[in-house]
Amino acid sequence: MKKIIILIAAVMSLGVAYWLISPVFIDRYAVDDSTADIDAAIANALDGTYKDEDIVMTENLKEQLGEEVMPDFLEEMKKIGDVFSDEPAFVEMEHMIRKEETQEGGVEAKEGLPVQETGPALLKSGMFVAVAHDGSGRAHVVDLGGDKGTVLRIEDLDILNGPDLRVVLSSNTGVQSSDELGDYVELGKLRGNKGSQNYALPAGLDIASVKSVIIYCKPFHVVFNTADLY
């Protein structure tokens, strides 16, 4: 009887050991396709492309400032944008303005007036770096516009696999351990340690409080990789 108990315990131990160790030697690939909204938001942010409303605004400024003053004004605005465009406060202010415009649009809709729906926007981005293990990849927080919600887009991820890895949004930057997570929101299991994937963010989440994306090993409370967001 004692031998049977020892045998059962040994088999269970081997099973647990396999569950914990085997992922390290197995790569899982995620192939979530991007969407037109995500692509547009990232392209607009990285390439500085203009939308129709930007053209209308420019024409209005020309009328107010005059053709001769307009080039100098645009050059100064570009300098200011280059300095502050990556600042978290600047990005969040732009996000708040978009949300306010959407809410105002809802009031106009009740009165029977046409509503111009806001388009997709890239809110924050960051690059994954090594903490417990080497790794690389990009993280983008994208507002899909209108009532489509907000998603975390992870692109070209290439990290070490591990047991029960989770995707976590943290209120802190420079996270090196579980003690430094601060306030956090878990988005679910990491679907692949390689490739690209999308995760829906909870409705009502305060984007300003989201400072980093963490790849976290839940059983061992180990931070594998982080991407500080700006």
Residue 81 shares a structural domain with residue 161: no
Residue 162 shares a structural domain with residue 139: yes
25 or 151, which is more confident: 151
Residue 123 shares a structural domain with residue 67: no
User: How far lies 171's CA from each of 7, 153, 155, in Å?
Assistant: 47, 18, 21
Say whether pTM exceeds 0.75.
no
Structure-block tokens of residue 179: 């003690």
pLDDT tens digits, 208-229: 999 999 999 999 999 999 999 9
Residue 121 near residue 148, CB atoms below 8 Å: no
Residue 32 shares a structural domain with residue 126: yes
Domain edge (last residue) among 110, 139, 155: 110
Tally of structural domains, the chain: 2
Residue 26 shares a structural domain with residue 123: yes
**SS3 assignment, position 125:** strand
Residues 6+ apart with CB under 8 A from 159: 128, 133, 134, 135, 136, 137, 193, 194, 215, 224, 225
The reply to whether 44 falls in a domain is no
Residue 132 shares a structural domain with residue 26: yes
Give the closest residue to 185 by CA, choosing from 125, 141, 129, 137.
Answer: 141
Residue 94 shares a structural domain with residue 28: no
Q: Give Cα 31 distance to the centre of its chain.
A: 17
The reply to whether 186 falls in a domain is yes
Give the closest residue to 213 by CA, choosing from 155, 161, 162, 164.
Answer: 155
**Domain hosting residue 192, numbered range:** 2-39+119-228
Residue 66 shares a structural domain with residue 132: no
Residue 91 shares a structural domain with residue 189: no
pLDDT at residue number 195: 96
pLDDT tens digits, 108-148: 444 555 555 678 999 999 999 999 999 999 999 999 998 89
The reply to whether 45 falls in a domain is no
Residue 65 shares a structural domain with residue 153: no
pLDDT tens digits, 38-71: 888 887 776 554 344 443 444 555 455 555 555 6
Residue 161 shares a structural domain with residue 215: yes
Residue 124 shares a structural domain with residue 224: yes
Structure-block tokens of residue 195: 């490739």
pLDDT tens digits, 66-108: 555 556 655 666 565 555 555 555 555 555 555 555 455 444 4
User: How far lies 184's CA from each of 169, 207, 216, in Å?
Assistant: 5, 12, 12
DSSP strand pairing (194-200 vs 29-31): parallel
User: CA 99, CA 96: separation in Å to the nearest integer?
Assistant: 5
